[in-house]
Structure 1
């Protein structure tokens, strides 16, 4: 899977890139490992009251 459109944000003949550098045109995704920790740290209305209702 490439990350772009040929002729727009990929160089000409990008498919001919040597295998050692082909990773440049791969799609990388990542997930924040702290997402679950943030959910565990949820505050309550008593500890952190809001400024208005809703």
Structure 2
């Protein structure tokens, strides 16, 4: 069962990518809800969520 760890990691990576995609697609809605700044877009949302990402 050496493949079970690979599938666990792959599933976690896919889930994180799906969540990140959902956040990026809904960034406009999240910006209106949390920041009240209409010009907030996915770039600034990602920069706030991931400080090391540029």
When normalised by structure 2's length, the TM-score is 0.26
When normalised by structure 1's length, the TM-score is 0.26
Structure with higher helix content:
2
Instruction: Indicate the structure whose relative CO is greater, using CA pairs within 8 Å and at least 6 residues apart.
Output: 1
